[in-house]
Amino acid sequence: MTRHLPHARRRPHVPARPSFRCCVCGAPWPCSPARLNLLHAYRKDRIGLRIYLAAQLTRALQDRPDLDPGHLAARIVYWVPRTPPRRP
C-alpha cells in the first residue's frame, strides 16, 4: 500500500537524465511548470538563472548528442525573457 505523502504532489519538475525530459510530467525539460518555478526562484537573479540553465545545457549536450545543439540551447537557455530596460 502506498502511503500518502503530502509533498508527493509537489515534486520538483527537474530533468531526468539522460532523457532530459521532466521527471514529473515527461515533457521536454524545462517544461512550463519548471519555467514558472525557475522564473520565480530566480526573480531577483536573472544572471544566476542563466548560469544555472547553462550548466543544465552542458549536461544535456553530454546526455543527448543525438539532438541538435542549437535546438537544445534554445529550449534550455534562450526562453528566459530579457530583463526589461531600466527606467531613467
CB-side exposure of 11: number of CA atoms within 13 Å? 12
Q: Interface with Zn ion includes 72 (CB under 5 A)?
A: no
CB of 58 to Zn ion, least distance (A): 21
Q: What are phi and psi of 28, to 5 degrees?
A: -55, 130
**Binding string to Zn ion for residues 4 to 43, with x set by CB under 5 A, is what?**
---------x--------x-xx-----x-x----------
Exposed, middle or buried by CB within 10 Å (0-12, 13-18, 19+), for 20?
A: buried
Residue nearest to Zn ion (CB): 22
Residues forming the site for Zn ion (CB under 5 A): 13, 22, 24-25, 31, 33
